Amino acid sequence: MNSAISATERRDRLRLARTDNVGPVTYGALMARYGAAAKALDALPHLAARGGRTSALKPTSVADADREIEAGERLGAVLVTVGEPAFPTPLAALDPPPPVLWLRGHPTLTLKPAVAIVGARIASAAGQRFARALASDLGQAGYVVVSGLARGVDGAAHEGGLRGGTVAVLAGGVDDIYPPEHKGLYGRIVAEGCVVSENAVGRRATAKDFPRRNRIISGLSLGVVVVEAELRSGSLITARLAAEQGREVFAVPGSPLDPRAKGPNDLIRQGAVLCEGIEDILRALPGLHGSVAEPQLDLFGEPERDQTALDAAADRLRERVYGCLSPTPAPRDEIVRALNEPAPGVLAALVELALAGRCELLPGGLAARSD
């Protein structure tokens, strides 16, 4: 069962999550193996060296973690880690979940049933009006509205969802207001809704942060509504992630003469639910008592693991595992089958290789060579 943790354990989890080469997959594997972040931190340099790293892997320092925590507290933001009761259950069910989140405003909104509304930044007036009205209707029906605070459809969705509750997921830190003209809207969301980010307070967003943000937008939601989007857009990435996560995908149809309708129309051709209003959403969703799958990984407690046996298995398998990898991501299950070896030993070897920077462990159970 999920339970409360100490401030020291929370800080150690933040240190682990912020350490070089420790992505969400590696973080989850380390926590599953060692049960406590302090034990995983102690093991990091040894594991990285076993994987072939030539320079020492230094975990994020206590001082750096304390500075991040203090910066968040000055904003009134709350830090939660996966496995805690305050961590959103839909996100905890992802493979892998984001290890840590900063929440500013009203964090309990992230625990309520939610629907995401996303779409074009350069949206039509009609598209923005539809997003605003749909968000308002969802709020009246008891759903929180999730979006990304971008221009166009996102901003309209937040405006319409303020009264019923809205969550803005940012690519930078929880204080990274982008675009700047949404400063006023951001302030209203902090006062009435919630701002969410997995990145450190003060961090400015880079291009690689937006797909991760989109994954959290869909992961927080029971379904994602795409209002307007061209065929190559971040909104369609969010829709794809939603489908991979087992969420419902809705698409608002539009005129074939408008390039912004091509994305939603194509989603409908691929099987997305046609959305002309809230009735289409209410028919498709399981209701306010429905939810996505419960998280399967419990990060608490002291696991009964034979560390010596895992180290021995990793020693025996490491180079064979590396030999199975290529720059093209492959499912970890395929590597296990190709080697005909127990999965725990293969995963232990992959974690060591990842900490050494020789491979990358990716969402969706994938692994790829990185050197």
Q: pLDDT tens for residues 134-143?
A: 999 999 999 9
DSSP notation for 33-102: HHSSHHHHHHHHHHHHHHHT-SS--PPPPHHHHHHHHHHHHHHT-EEEETTSTTS-HHHHTSSSPPSEEE
How far apart are the C-alpha atoms of 79 and 213, rounded to whole Å?
17
Confidence of residue 4 (pLDDT cuts 50, 70, 90): confident
Mean pLDDT computed over 213-231? 95
Given a cut of 60, is residue 55 above it in pLDDT? yes
- What is the reported pTM? 0.90
pLDDT in tens, 162-195: 999 999 999 999 999 999 999 999 999 999 999 9
Q: Who has greater pLDDT, 293 or 343? A: 343
Given a cut of 80, is residue 53 above it in pLDDT? yes
Mean pLDDT computed over 21-41? 94
Structural domain spans, the chain: 89-284
How far apart are the C-alpha atoms of 19 and 365, rounded to whole Å?
21
Given a cut of 80, is residue 343 above it in pLDDT? yes
β-pair partners for 225: 117, 250
253 neighbors 216 (Cβ within 8 angstroms): no
pLDDT at 1: 40
Residue 332: is it exposed, middle or buried by C-beta count within 10 angstroms (0-12/13-18/19+)? buried
pLDDT at 364: 85
pLDDT at 305: 65
pLDDT at 288: 59
Residue 58: is it exposed, middle or buried by C-beta count within 10 angstroms (0-12/13-18/19+)? exposed
- Residue 298 is which amino acid? D
Given a cut of 80, is residue 90 above it in pLDDT? yes
pLDDT in tens, 257-297: 899 999 999 999 999 999 999 999 999 997 655 455 454 44
How far apart are the C-alpha atoms of 140 and 10, rounded to whole Å?
36
Please tell me the CATH code under which domain 89-284 is placed. 3.40.50.450
